[in-house]
Amino acid sequence: MAECCISNKRYTYIHDNKWGSEAADMHHIVVRKSRTKGFLVYLSALLVLANAFHLFLVKDGSIAITFWTFGLNVVLVKLLLQKPVEKESVIVMPAFGVQLETHYASGKIIRRFVPIDRILKPVLLECVTPVTCYWSLSFIVRGEAKLMLVFKELRPPVKMLVPIWKALCAATGSEGSLDTLTDDGPTPGT
């Protein structure tokens, strides 16, 4: 019943091992709720609405502006505060395969199952975008040209990805160390 936990500002990693690693090993990344962000968004929405009422009541503005402002506020609050993803889980069953789950705040759960013999190797890769660089955990899948992302929506930090990667390596039988680097150019002569 081993449980271990790492957390940072955005995510919490929970390792649930209640049935023992041979049967099923569960790793969860849970999104933490941020109170300050919610407070700021509601405050600004309130201020905008108050301003619209002030325009209508004191300065004889049209009621349509107030309704539009209200509507806009609802849309913005929904966009900024709605946390679609609540949790993403990886359930490792060495005998069968790996189940990847995404739990949404609305209650919807999306599950993907990958049989163990289809996974060639789990890899930790650095992904570079025009504005940032982050670590991601993926599977090299037999017969597929593209890698399969383990965490589709979330970007947990590498200190949370490393134990999951090690558990996946152990389950799929791959070596848990960095792969060989291929020679990509000549070395200058001495």
The residues that touch another protein, with contacts defined as CB under 8 A, are 6, 8-9, 125-133, 135, 157-159, 162-163, 177-181, 183-190
User: Residues 6 or more apart from 100 whose CB is under 8 A from it?
Assistant: 88, 89, 90, 91, 111, 112, 113, 114, 150, 152
Closer to another protein at the Cβ: 97 or 122? 122
Torsion of CA 171, 177, 182, 184, to 10 degrees: 120
Token reading at 36: 């300050």
- Would you say 130 or 143 has its CB closer to another protein? 130
Cβ-based nearer residue to another protein, 60 or 183 = 183
Q: How far is CA 123 from CA 5, 21, 99, 150, 156, in A?
A: 22, 20, 17, 10, 15
Nearer to another protein, 57 or 127 (CB): 127
> Taking the complex as a whole, how short is the minimal distance between the CB of residue 168 and another protein, in angstroms?
15
Q: Which is nearer to another protein, 1 or 181 (CB)?
A: 181
| Residue 90, beta-bridge partner list | 27, 100
Task: Write down the least CB distance from residue 10 to another protein, Å.
Answer: 8
Cβ neighbours around 31 below 10 Å, total: 19
Residues of the chain by 3-state class (helix, strand, coil), percent to 5:
30, 35, 35
- Quote the least distance from Cβ 163 to another protein, whole Å: 6
| Minimum gap (Å) between residue 160 Cβ and another protein | 9
To another protein, the closest distance from the beta carbon of 41 in angstroms equals 16
